[in-house]
């Protein structure tokens, strides 16, 4: 039973391996003229090799039998052939390299835009280290695949076939030996390849684990040091890299072993040709020059097999890396299949969503959501309305699903059932990029990219001028601290603005959202409390920003909930209570006990 299952997985792996090779070849075919170009150069190389060996056989037999070179031009032609062969090999390598560079950069771009399309719901799944390994290493591994492996595969079709045809015309027994031994060598290669493939894939898995581990340690260095766990973690990293070393050595062992077996098979085959030609020469059944010609051709015939043997390893590494890469490319956006009620329209134009200057009307109708790897729903039958020009606060215990609701509204997640609509247009049917241009978002932990403060502000509105940026910063209360920095708005931020305090980051993030001036604002307040002054400024900025737009705030501060026009109280994935602060307090229900637990009632 177990064996059958194993065989099935094996077969599936082999099939997906074949599929990966086919896709990689298709990528190369996509580059105009790559295959015909390499094939043409290979054909020229074949012609040069045959001519070179023919001339060599004539020159040697002249020297051997006549003690002189009958035609000195033969020597010059021979030198020209040797030079031409090197030039052709160089041209082929250059040509393949150019193709590889363009395929790699295309792949990286596609992969990156696909990741952006998949959004944070995909990248959040704890695969950052692996993703980095794939974006950088896996794509680089394809270099050898396109510059070495594919040209060797094409070469192995063209050169031996040309030589066999030639040999048959001069000496059919040698041609026959070549015809029989060549497929045998290919069979050996395939046999070793199937075994080594699994190992190469394991090696990839181990390398991804190592990168994730490194990333994890670097990001958590502060925590590790404080808890005195840095030595333990160093040991873990050491163990991961040692596992990687072991699997790499095993892969290399197979690679060397396969190289040796192929060399041996090729040498035996050459010996077979040589022995039978030698015997016939001694017996006088064959004249010297053609015999020598065949003898010189034989090593050239088996050379592409040996080259492919050494490049086979590059091919396998490339295909194992590409398999990971294609897995990401094949991950589909979760678009769900939702029944849209008749009063909700499907396609919205920008005008439909910006007709009300006070913001958007958002409806959640019977929205349910379960995370892919979770066993129970996070949100159940959510019904609520966010009105233009109002501030709606989400409150409730930790883990009750507040951020999940925000992620659904942002378009990062897709509901399992139910409808989210904006001005009666179905949000889930809109292109993510289209929908997200109507949203300004202040996350709980805002992210700042490496660049100046100004560049980070302008991310939300690239064509804004300095005055607009400054105005937004003034309104969010960020201007005062920015001005005090020696380089002001041109202060470079690095490492997610680690030099700024929590309150400063928050105000900067609010300024960024203000600059965007979108009809819907979603804000996830930080749970950690800021110093009173920062708190005051951030709250004022939020109130300011909430005018003239639809605002949804995941509230952790008393001031926010007190000011809210409507509070949605979450409890275990459902909306348990709604109303204004005072109404909810007098109810003495979940809301008031929630505030009590926070100690802010």
How many C-beta atoms lie closer than 10 Å to residue 472's C-beta? Answer: 26
Lookup: tokens for 346: 């499907």
350 is a contact residue toward ligand ATP (CB under 6 A):
no
The contact pattern for ligand ATP, residues 325-344, with x = CB under 6 A and - = no contact, is --------------------
373 is a contact residue toward ligand ATP (CB under 6 A):
yes
Tell me which residue of 469, 521, 478 sits closest to 497, measured CA to CA.
Answer: 478
Among 177, 277, 297, 378, binds ligand ATP (CB under 6 A): 378
Nearer to ligand ATP, 292 or 362 (CB): 362
597 is a contact residue toward ligand ATP (CB under 6 A):
no
The contact pattern for Mg ion, residues 349-388, with x = CB under 5 A and - = no contact, is ----------------------------------------
How many C-beta atoms lie closer than 10 Å to residue 601's C-beta? Answer: 12
Radius of gyration of the chain (CA): 35
Measured between alpha carbons, how far is residue 266 from residues 148, 178, 259, 512, 581 in Å? Answer: 20, 10, 11, 67, 85
Nearer to Mg ion, 128 or 403 (CB): 403
HEC sequence for 316-380: HHHHHHHHHHHHHHHCCCCCCCCCCCCCCECCCCHHHHCCCCCCCCEEEEEEEECCCCCCCCCEE
CB of 113 to ligand ATP, least distance (A): 23
Report the alpha-carbon distance of residue 404 to residue 382 in Å, rounded: 12
Nearer to ligand ATP, 278 or 443 (CB): 443
Q: Which does 374 bind (CB under 5 to 8 A by kind): Mg ion, ligand ATP, none?
A: ligand ATP
Q: Which of the stretches 131-139, 203-211, 221-229, 369-377 binds ligand ATP when contact is defined by CB under 6 A? A: 369-377
Q: Which residues contact 175 (CB under 8 A, 6 or more apart)?
A: 164, 167, 168
For the range 140-143, what are the long-range contacts, defined as Cβ-Cβ under 8 Å and sequence gap of 24 or more?
140/104, 141/317, 141/318, 141/321, 141/322, 142/24, 142/100, 142/103, 142/104, 142/107, 142/318, 142/321, 142/322, 143/100, 143/104
Q: Which of the stretches 45-53, 223-231, 389-397, 402-410 binds Mg ion when contact is defined by CB under 5 A? A: 402-410
Q: Which of the stretches 225-233, 243-251, 272-280, 367-375 binds ligand ATP when contact is defined by CB under 6 A? A: 367-375
Q: Which of the stretches 62-70, 382-390, 398-406, 473-481 binds ligand ATP when contact is defined by CB under 6 A? A: 398-406
Among 402, 461, 479, 557, binds ligand ATP (CB under 6 A): 402
Nearer to ligand ATP, 212 or 240 (CB): 212
398 is a contact residue toward ligand ATP (CB under 6 A):
yes
CB of 575 to ligand ATP, least distance (A): 12
Report the alpha-carbon distance of residue 68 to residue 313 in Å, rounded: 46
For the range 232-241, what are the long-range contacts, defined as Cβ-Cβ under 8 Å and sequence gap of 24 or more?
237/210, 237/213, 240/206, 240/209, 240/210, 240/213, 241/210
371 is a contact residue toward ligand ATP (CB under 6 A):
yes
Report the alpha-carbon distance of residue 585 to residue 464 in Å, rounded: 43
Among 403, 474, 536, 578, binds Mg ion (CB under 5 A): 403
236 is a contact residue toward ligand ATP (CB under 6 A):
no
CB of 313 to ligand ATP, least distance (A): 39
Among 403, 437, 452, 548, binds ligand ATP (CB under 6 A): 403
Which residue has 């194993």 as its token pair? 6
417 membership: H or E segment, kind and range: strand 417-422
536 is a contact residue toward Mg ion (CB under 5 A):
no
The contact pattern for ligand ATP, residues 104-133, with x = CB under 6 A and - = no contact, is --------------------x---------
Contact 99, 28 (CB under 8 A): yes
Q: Which residue is nearest to Mg ion (CB)?
A: 403
Instruction: Kindly list the residues in this chain that would bind ligand ATP in the complex (CB under 6 A).
Output: 124, 371, 373-374, 378, 398-404
């Amino acid at each position: 039973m177990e064996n059958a299952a194993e065989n099935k997985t094996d077969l599936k792996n082999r099939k997906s391996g074949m599929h990966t090779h086919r896709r990689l070849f298709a990528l190369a075919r996509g580059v105009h003229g790559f295959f015909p170009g390499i094939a043409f150069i290979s054909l020229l190389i074949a012609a040069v090799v045959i001519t070179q060996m023919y001339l060599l056989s004539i020159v040697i037999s002249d020297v051997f039998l006549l003690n002189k070179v009958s035609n000195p031009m033969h020597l010059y032609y021979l030198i020209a052939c040797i030079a031409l062969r090197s030039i052709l090999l160089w041209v082929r390598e250059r040509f393949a390299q150019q193709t590889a560079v363009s395929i790699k950069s295309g792949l990286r771009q596609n992969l990156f835009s696909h990741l952006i399309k998949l959004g944070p719901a995909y990248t959040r799944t704890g695969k950052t280290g692996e993703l980095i390994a794939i974006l950088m290493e896996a794509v680089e591994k394809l270099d050898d695949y396109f510059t070495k492996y594919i040209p060797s595969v094409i070469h192995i079709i063209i050169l031996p076939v040309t030589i066999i045809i030639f040999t048959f015309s001069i000496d059919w027994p040698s041609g026959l030996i070549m015809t029989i031994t060549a497929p045998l060598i290919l069979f050996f290669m395939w046999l070793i390849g199937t075994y080594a493939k699994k190992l190469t894939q394991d090696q990839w898995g181990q390398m991804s684990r190592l990168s994730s581990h490194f990333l994890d340690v670097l990001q958590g260095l502060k925590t590790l040091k404080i808890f005195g766990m840095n030595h333990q973690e160093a040991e873990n990293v050491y163990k991961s890299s040692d596992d990687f070393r072991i699997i790499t050595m095993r892969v290399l062992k197979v690679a060397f072993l396969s190289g040796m077996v192929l060399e041996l098979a090729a040498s035996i085959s050459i010996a077979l040709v040589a022995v039978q030609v030698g015997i016939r020469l001694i017996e006088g059944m064959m004249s010297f020059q053609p015999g020598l010609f065949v003898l010189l051709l034989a090593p050239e015939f088996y050379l592409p097999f040996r080259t492919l043997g050494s490049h086979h390893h590059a091919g396998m590494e490339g295909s194992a890396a590409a398999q990971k890469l294609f897995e990401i490319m094949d991950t589909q956006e979760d678009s769900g299949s939702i029944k849209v009620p008749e009063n909700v329209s499907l396609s919205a134009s920008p005008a439909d969503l910006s007709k009300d200057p006070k913001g958007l009307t958002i409806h959640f109708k019977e929205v349910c959501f379960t995370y892919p790897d979770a066993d129970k729903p996070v949100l159940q039958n959510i019904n609520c309305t966010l009105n233009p020009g109002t501030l709606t606060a989400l409150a409730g215990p930790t883990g009750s699903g507040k951020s999940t609701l925000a992620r659904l509204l942002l378009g990062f997640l897709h509901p399992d059932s139910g409808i989210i609509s904006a001005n009666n247009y179905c949000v889930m049917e809109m292109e993510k990029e289209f929908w997200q241009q109507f949203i300004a978002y202040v996350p709980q932990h805002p992210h700042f990219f490496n660049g100046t403060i100004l560049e980070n502000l302008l991310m939300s509105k690239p064509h804004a001028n300095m005055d607009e940026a400054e105005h937004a910063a003034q309104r969010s209360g960020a201007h005062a601290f920015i001005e005090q920095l020696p380089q002001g708005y041109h202060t470079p931020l690095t490492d997610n603005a680690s030099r700024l305090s929590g309150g400063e980051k928050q105000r900067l993030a609010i300024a960024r959202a203000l600059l965007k001036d979108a009809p819907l604002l979603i804000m996830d307040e930080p749970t950690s409390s800021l110093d009173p002054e920062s708190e005051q400024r951030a709250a004022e900025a939020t109130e300011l920003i909430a005018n003239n737009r639809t605002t949804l705030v995941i509230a952790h501060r008393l001031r926010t909930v007190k000011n809210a026009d409507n509070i949605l109280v979450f409890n275990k994935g459902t909306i348990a209570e709604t109303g204004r602060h005072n109404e909810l307090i007098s109810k003495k229900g979940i809301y008031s006990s929630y505030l009590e637990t926070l100690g802010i009632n």
